[in-house]
């Protein structure tokens, strides 16, 4: 199993799309953390830099962006094998599909967690250094920082596993990625506006609750009191990951890949 994990890790590092995703995450950090930090007003309104909500949003932005990148990374980790027809030679070396999927899951979770750790560290450091430089007081407590850091690591790790499972079931990376983005940003947005109570249990909203632990000043985030707490959001997302993982395993073990 160690050799299989090592091989999958090498494959991930050698793929050009991985470098592109890391570069894309760096761009997202600039757009969602550094620019707003430099341009946000100091006082007045919900997004004033001196307030809890603005600082929390900026601190969580890195982990949230890493989660989106990790989803794509996970999808490509499995669906990319189908698209480029590299799964057949892989299975000739390792015919046990369960072990192969388990190795890919280990690599995807670690890769997602590392992306999240790096992105969350940049966001938290930017807030810790940038807010005082802008002349505003830091209002995030130590517990807030710890919760944001934990969510920033766990959310991308689970997102990568979710993407891997979806990629194994759907096989087409374009369809898988576009479908998940449509679910998160279109379907869930509409359902949140119509029925925020049930919508909080959807995977995107559960992931947001994990990556964005709401504070008292944030009033529960954009959904108000309908937002899940961080622990519940994490467990809900883990449930989706488990369900998709079982489906991926069943499909992968029975699918004809020739």
Helix pair 97-133, 142-170: axis angle to 10 deg:
150
User: Per-residue confidence of the chain (258 residues) as pLDDT tens digits?
Assistant: 877 788 778 788 888 888 999 999 999 999 999 998 888 787 776 667 878 888 999 999 999 999 999 999 999 988 887 777 777 777 767 777 888 889 999 999 999 999 999 999 999 999 999 989 888 888 888 889 999 999 999 999 999 999 999 999 998 899 999 999 999 999 998 998 898 888 899 999 999 999 998 755 444 444 444 688 999 999 999 999 999 999 999 988 887 666
In the prediction, which pLDDT does 21 show? 93
User: Is the pTM here over 0.85, yes or no?
Assistant: yes
pLDDT score at 226: 60
The gap from C-alpha 93 to its chain's centroid, in whole angstroms, comes to: 31
- Upper half-sphere CA count for residue 142 (Cβ side, 13 Å): 0
Distance of CA 4 to the CA centre of its chain: 25
Q: How far is CA 143 from CA 90, 146, 148, 166, 177, in A?
A: 45, 5, 9, 34, 34
100 close to 4: Cβ distance less than 8 angstroms: yes
**pLDDT value of position 45:** 64
pLDDT for 223: 43
- DSSP line for 141-170: -HHHHHHHHHHHHHHHHHHHHHHHHHHHHH
* pLDDT of 137: 87
pLDDT for 16 equals 85
Of 122, 105, 227, 111, which is closest to residue 164 (Cα–Cα)?
105
142 Cβ neighbours under 8 A, 6+ residues apart: none
Give residue 222's pLDDT: 43
pLDDT for the residue 205: 92
For tokens 């890769």, name the residue: 111
Indicate the burial class of 14 (C-beta count within 10 angstroms; 0-12, 13-18, 19 or more): exposed
Instruction: Specify the 3-state DSSP secondary structure of 113.
Output: helix
């Amino acid at each position: 199993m160690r050799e299989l994990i090592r091989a999958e890790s090498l494959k991930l590092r050698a793929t050009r799309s991985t470098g592109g995703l890391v570069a894309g995450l760096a761009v997202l950090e600039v757009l969602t953390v550094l620019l707003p930090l430099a341009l946000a007003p100091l006082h007045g309104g919900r997004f004033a830099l001196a307030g809890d909500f603005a600082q929390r949003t900026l601190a969580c932005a890195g982990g949230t962006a890493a989660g989106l990148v990790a989803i794509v990374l996970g999808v490509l980790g499995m669906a990319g094998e189908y698209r480029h027809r590299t799964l057949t030679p892989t299975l000739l070396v390792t015919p046990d599909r369960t072990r192969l999927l388990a190795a890919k899951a280990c690599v995807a979770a670690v890769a997602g967690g590392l992306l999240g750790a790096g992105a969350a560290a940049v966001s938290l450091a930017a807030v810790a250094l940038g807010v005082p430089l802008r002349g505003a007081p830091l209002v995030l407590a130590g517990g807030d920082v710890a919760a944001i850091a934990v969510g920033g690591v766990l959310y991308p790790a689970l997102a990568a596993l979710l993407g891997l499972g979806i990629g194994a079931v759907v096989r087409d990376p374009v369809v898988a990625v576009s479908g998940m983005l449509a679910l998160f940003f279109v379907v869930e947005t509409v359902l949140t506006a119509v029925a925020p109570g049930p919508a909080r249990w959807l995977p995107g909203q559960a992931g947001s609750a994990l990556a964005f632990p709401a504070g008292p000043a944030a009033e529960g985030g954009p959904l108000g009191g309908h937002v899940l707490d961080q622990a519940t959001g994490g467990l809900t997302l883990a449930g989706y990951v488990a369900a998709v993982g079982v489906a991926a395993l069943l499909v992968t073990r029975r699918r004809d890949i020739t």
